[in-house]
Structure 1
Amino acid sequence: MHVLKTLLLTGTLFAATAHAQPHPIADAQGRTADGQYPMDYKAGPVEAQLKKVDQRLKRGAYKPDWAALKAYETPDWFRDAKFGIFIHWGPYSVPAFANEWYTRNMYAQGNSAFRHHVETWGPQNQFGYKDFIPMFTAEKFDANAWIDLFQRAGARYVIPVAEHCDGFAMYDSAMTEWKATTMGPKRDTTGELATAARAKGMHFGLSSHRAEHWWWFNDGRKYDSDVNDPKYAGLYGPAAPMRLNGDDAKGWPDGNHLENWFPPNKEFLDDWLARTTELVDKYRPEMVYLDWWSAAPAFEPNMRKFAAYYYSDGRAKGYAPTIAYKGEQFIEGSALFDIERGKLDALRLEPWQTDTSVSIKSWGYVDGDSYRTAKSLIGDLIDVVAKNGNLLLNVGPKADGTLPEEAKTVLLGMGVWLTVNGEAIYGSRPWTYFGEGPTVTVTGEKKETPNKVWTAQDIRFTTNKGKLYAMGFVRPADGKVFIRTLYKDTPYLNRAPTSIELVETGKAVAWRQTDKGLEIDLPPLDSDMPYVLRLSL
């Protein structure tokens, strides 16, 4: 969204919105008598936090304007790490049905989650989402065990979701009573993960999906459900309409036209800024990942304030922060671009990130999910890193705090490969040319092909400590590798190869450089995983 357009939209859409305390009773559309939407708004903590934000913005190293924010640089820790773990975990892991959007879809008449909920748990006016929270006990949660697994998988950073769209905070927030420290686990699971990760030398960040909560439960306004009970406005509110005309029946608006969505009021926007900066103050995350709806035009002023607050905090306290975004919240060069379940078809000069999941159907844990293979995810990692990106791989724990065995198997398989071949990944930088081969990677969000099939002709390159690495996705049946890009006198190399080694054996391989390409003979090996060649020049 261009800044001028954003300012015009935000100025016209909610210039008349009042900053008022919510009233306890809402009508069928969620509005109270004065036209407001009841929500979990704690004036004292919110206003105290916003005062702190204003003070930081006055004296901080970064100012809340786009020109100043372009001074941001992607931190080296991120560029070196390459591989991180994302965690979607919350009360939605109790029903464990379909996907983590169950929290919304269980109220959407006609949705399979709605039917499943009624048949399994009863009607929504008798058993609502709130009733899953006491069942979300996390009695087997062990932060140290999780971090140990993630390290064995080869991950260098971890990003749990601090608050999903459901409005249940998985951290110790002063802004709400609907949180893991007072309900469900009655533990600060986020704080425990932060402590465990940092004790093992892992980088730690957080993700916020709070923005979507403005409309998340609005389907429950359309009939008799517990969303309309004023006792639970703290969890379900605001539950506002999605569209400006109030007609949600037309489906989801185009994600590229978020100005057509009903804009959040000032109260919600203040609460969003307070909660998001609270995460910075409490946990000092090195990454804050913001979900997609925060790209809606109304968030633009607060987006600049948050970035300036967060970057200034890092400068003042000596850590290197980064913000991952996947919409149009930021201008080029002011934050880290992320692609959900998707990739790029070419090398990007600026660092970027893709986030996907070890599970195929859902980000959160659900019964009967399908899972990726370690080989396919290593292939993703190779392709992404060669194009100057990082892979953020999600896991969805069960309600009791354990991780699915299928996920653990995949993660450990990745770790075995990275233990041997990690020198081509960690700390690497992209080469002049990302790679070659016939397999096309489609650019864009949600366009990944799980367990993608590559060919023996597909090769990717990275550089590290003066070495050039050539990574092959598939070992050719005859052991003959041919790399067209590295032909004799290629302009991509200013020095000829002097030796080539297969990293997994540490032994030299036979090779010949001709006018048509580089020919390499691989030894027979009992493995179908990608291979890595180390070229000394």
Structure 2
Amino acid sequence: MFFSFTKKAAVAKGVAALLLAVGAAASVQAQTDNLHRQSSIYEAPTDPLVLKKLDKWQDQKFGMIIHWGLYAVPGMIESWALCSEDWIERDSTVAYEDFKKWYWGLNKEFNPVNFNPEQWASAAKAAGMRYLVFTTKHHDGFNMFDTKQTDFKITNGPFAAHPRANVAKHVFEAFRQEGFMIGAYFSKPDWHSEYFWWPKYATPDRNVNYDIRKHPWRWNQYKQFTYNQLSELMHDYGSMDILWLDGGWVRPLETVNDEVRAWGAAIPEFSQEVDMPRIATMARQAQPGLLIVDRTVHGPYENYQTPEQRVPDHKIDNPWESCMTLGNNWGYVPNDQFKSPTKVIHSLVEIVAKGGSLLLGVGPKPDGTLPEEVVERLADIGEWLEANGEAIYSTRATAHYQDGSTFFTQGKNKLRYAIACLPEGEAVPTTLEWSGNMPKRGSKMKLLHNGKTVKWVKEGEKVRVYLPKSLSKEKGAYPALAFAFTAE
């Protein structure tokens, strides 16, 4: 919840320091009240190049999504404080227009002089991540690339003279150098654009604030603005694998079904479509095989689905990823509470076993570096993947994907993997057992942690595995143990 500050303080130079408490509370609220719901409808692509890229993406399993923008300066929730909806709290003594001016005025303060995309890419690689999604523009409309469509961008402010002012370009290049698949996050709504939030009217919620049916010229200007920005990203920023479009309420009216209405957000009685067929044609001419992820807008431009901040409770046969935060927030918030490496590893294992990928969110500080605690936790996750990645990367789901806290995957080499998630902080037991996915009689089972074979026996409908005593010496040292075997 936004704490009290006077109108004078709201526009003062030092207000950013006072807002440090904003982000955590508001973002936690956002994660419970404002999640993108996954649609239950999926339409598989038919373009052979897209299918090939989709198969490659499904091999990667673990990616990083980076939210970085004006909101990093005060360390608050990304964009949403600009939106007047019931779940957003602001100080009642500050006029809404004054707040918007203050927020958008942060572009005069955002000066990430220590911007270090190589640090980000190195940390992601150390974590075992293999693809990137970078926020080129969030809903607040501030651009992290050198767009020619507006002056509201990182290259027009105190950072403009920096040799790396065109931030997105250098982020993409740094991650390409580490072998990552590259994705551009882009918000379909743009609350700073006069063609989306027309200054003539109030801005009551996340939607366009005028009737598109009565003002078609203005909306056509917005569609062209969106097309032009996406064209810049597709033509001027190197090879792209993924176009990750957020803001699922900006969609054709015919796609608004009961699932969308259940979000609880206001839904206008007119289309807010941005002409995805035209955008997709342009984008794939520039980037053949491009994966397009028009989140929650089921149809030909949602090449994979994106449940947010949760692990689905069952296996999903469509391509999908869970986008989740390492902390409580998408962007940088001081004193954020981060998930333990064990918790992230357990989520990754469960997601992969259910057929998905994990896109883990981190937020760089306003100076352009990742918090050290984030770097350390990513390294711990990567240490586990270094030894056990064979059971994660390039695998697919099996029919019997879970037995309690043990999950199963299958490699393209036909090997089966059992990944036993161990309680955090506890010692490794002397034996493990599971049902289903029985090893072939007389076959060997390998413990991926050390590459050695382990003894196993079949007991009725269960398999019992005997673990080396050396594993039980250090409590909490093993988040999960993975085994490779040939299944019956």
Partner AA of 1:156 in structure 2? R
Letter in 2 for 1:171: F
Partner of 1:314: 287
1:172 aligns with 2:146: yes
1:212 equivalent to 2:157? Answer: no
Q: Which residue of structure 1 lines up, in the alignment, with residue 244 of structure 2?
A: 289
1:308 is displaced (CA, Å) by: 2.6
Q: Residues 67, 237 of structure 1: CA spacing in aligned structure 2 closer, same or farther, 3 A cutoff?
A: closer
In structure 2, C-alpha distance between the alignment counterparts of 1:481 and 1:68, rounded to whole Å: 39
Deviations 1:365-420 (A, max 9, x none): 11232111111111111111112211111111111101122222221111111111
Select the residue among 113, 116, 131 that pairs with 1:142.
116
User: Is the 2:223–2:274 contact (alpha carbons within 8 Å) kept by the matching residues of 1?
Assistant: no
Q: Which residue matches 1:152?
A: 126
Q: Deviations over 1:256-306 (max 9, x none)?
A: xx9999558222122122222321112232101111233353354611222
Q: What is the count of residue pairs matched by the alignment?
A: 407
Match of 1:224 in 2: none
Q: Counterpart of 1:195 in 2: which secondary structure?
A: helix
Secondary structure of 2:446's counterpart equals strand
| Aligned equivalents of 2:250, 2:116: Cα separation in 1 | 32
Determine the structure 2 residue equivalent to 1:195: 173
Match among 398, 403, 413 for residue 431 of structure 1:
398
1:304 to 277, 289, 295: 277
Match of 2:294 among 301, 325, 341: 325
Residues 25-424 of structure 1 aligned to structure 2 (within 5 Å):
70-71=46-47, 72-73=50-51, 74-97=53-76, 99-101=77-79, 103-104=81-82, 112-114=89-91, 124=98, 128-186=102-160, 187-209=165-187, 211-213=188-190, 216=191, 237-238=197-198, 248=204, 263=212, 265-283=219-237, 284-291=239-246, 292-297=248-253, 298-300=271-273, 302-315=275-288, 320-331=289-300, 335-360=303-328, 362-424=329-391
Matched to 2:243, the amino acid is: V
CA contact (8 A) 1:176 1:234 kept: no
How far apart, in 2, do the equivalents of 1:198 and 1:384 lie?
25
- Give 1:484's aligned amino acid: S
Report what 1:441 is aligned to. none
Give the TM-score normalised by the residue count of structure 1: 0.68
TM-superposed deviation, 1:146: 1.5
The Cα offsets for residues 290-349 of structure 1, whole Å up to 9 and x where unpaired, read as 11233353354611222232233333xxxx421123312524x86121111123222222
Answer yes or no: is the 8 Å Cα contact 1:483–1:517 preserved in 2: yes
**Secondary structure, aligned partner of 1:196:** helix
1:148 and 1:100, CA in 2 relative to 1: closer, same or farther beyond 3 A? same
Residue of structure 1 aligned with 2:461, choices 506, 516, 530: 516
Q: Partners of 1:324 and 1:281 in 2: how far apart? A: 18
TM-score by length of 2: 0.75
What amino acid sits opposite 2:324 in the alignment? T
- Post-superposition shift, 1:155? 0.9
Unaligned runs of 5+ in 1: 1-65, 218-232, 253-257, 438-456, 488-492
Q: Is the 8 A contact 2:341 2:380 kept in 1?
A: yes
What amino acid maps onto 1:288 in structure 2?
L
AA of the residue aligned to 1:198: R
Q: What is the DSSP-based 3-state SS (H/G/I as helix, E as strand, rest coil) of the residue aligned with 1:146?
A: helix
1:529 Cα offset (Å): 0.8
Letter of the structure 1 residue corresponding to residue 240 of structure 2 = P
Contact 1:423 1:464 in 2 (8 A): no
Question: What is residue 264 of structure 2 aligned with on the other side?
Answer: none
Q: Is the 8 A contact 1:153 1:416 kept in 2?
A: yes
Q: SS in structure 2 opposite 1:75?
A: helix
> Which position in structure 2 is the counterpart of 1:38?
none
Match of 2:484 in 1: 534
Q: Tell me which of 414, 429, 432 is aligned to 1:481.
A: 432
Partner of 1:3: none
For residues 275 and 478 of structure 1, what CA distance do their matches in structure 2 show?
55
8 Å CA contact retained: 1:338, 1:353: yes
Amino acid at match of 1:90: G
Using the TM superposition, give the Cα deviation of residue 532 of structure 1 relative to its aligned residue in structure 2, in angstroms: 0.5
TM-superposed deviation, 1:436? 2.0
Alpha-carbon distance in structure 1 between the residues aligned to 2:364 and 2:201 = 31
Structure 2 residues not aligned, in runs of 5+: 1-41, 213-217, 254-270
**TM-superposed deviation, 1:466:** 2.8
Q: Work out whether residues 392 and 409 of structure 2, in 8 Å CA contact, stay in contact via their aligned partners in 1.
A: no
Computed over aligned residues only, the root mean square deviation of the Cα atoms, in angstroms, reads 3.3
Mapped to 2, the partners of 1:137 and 1:321 lie a distance apart of 32
- Alpha-carbon displacement from aligned partner over 1:213-269 (angstroms, at most 9, x marks no partner): 2xx47xxxxxxxxxxxxxxx7699436879xxx9x4xx78xxxxx999955822212
**CA deviation vs aligned residue, 1:100-136 (integer Å, no higher than 9, x gap):** 135515x889954446989xxx992796123211211
Identity between Structure 1 and Structure 2 (%): 24
- On the 8 A contact 2:133/2:182 being kept in 1, the answer is yes
Please give the alpha-carbon distance, in whole angstroms, between the structure 1 residues aligned to 2:155 and 2:324.
28
Paired with 1:69 and 1:274, the residues of 2 have a C-alpha distance of 25
- 1:5-58 alpha-carbon deviations (Å, 9 max, x no partner): xxxxxxxxxxxxxxxxxxxxxxxxxxxxxxxxxxxxxxxxxxxxxxxxxxxxxx
Q: Does the 8 Å CA contact 1:289/1:325 hold for their aligned counterparts?
A: yes
SS of 1:533 mapped into structure 2:
strand
Distance 2:147 2:370 in 1: 25
Aligned pair in 2 of structure 1 residues 69, 517: CA closer, same or farther (>3 Å)?
Answer: closer
SS in 1 for 2:456: strand
Give, in whole Å, the separation in 1 of the partners of 2:323 and 2:283: 22
